[in-house]
Amino acid sequence: MFPRPLLALCLLLAPFAGVQAQAPAPQDYRVLLVGNSLTYTNNLPALLRAVGASQGTTIVTETYAAPGGTLDDRLDEGHVAAALRARKFDAIVLQEQGGHLAACMASAQEQRKAPCAASDRA
C-alpha cells in the first residue's frame, strides 16, 4: 500500500494528457501513470523526470489519462493492459476520479457498491 503522503502527491500533481512514452536506457526507472485530468494538469511525468534527473536517475514515464475518467474507463480502453503486457514498469501510479469515488474506497461496505466495485476491479 502507498504511504499516504506519496498517494496525496500522486493525486495532486500530474502529467499532460494522452500518452507520453520515451525509449528507456538500460538503467532507466520506468513509471506508468494512469488517471484523469488530475494526473496531467500539473505535468507529473515531467516532475518525476526532473526529480530523477536531480538525483542522477533517469525516470521514463508512460501516461494514460483523459479528462474526468475513472480507472475503469482507462482499463476499458485497452491501452493500459497492452502496456503492462508489453513492458516492465518499476512503479505504477493509479489516480482514481476524485470525490465520492475516491472516498468510498475507505469503507468495505461501500467498496461492494458500484461504481466503487468497478474501481476496485480496475
Domain of 9, in residue numbers: 4-121
Side by side, the strands of the sheet bearing 91-94 are 59-65, 29-35, 91-94
Residue range 43-91, pLDDT digits in tens = 889 999 999 999 999 999 999 988 888 888 888 899 999 999 999 999 9
The Cα 32–Cα 90 span in angstroms is 8
- Are the CB atoms for 2 and 10 separated by under 8 Å? yes
Number of domains forming the structure of the chain? 1
The Cα 76–Cα 101 span in angstroms is 17
53-57's contacts with Cβ under 8 Å and 24+ in sequence apart are: 57/29
Predicted local distance difference test score (pLDDT) of residue 47: 92
Residue range 87-116, pLDDT digits in tens = 999 999 988 876 666 667 677 777 777 667
Amino acid in the structure at residue 26: P
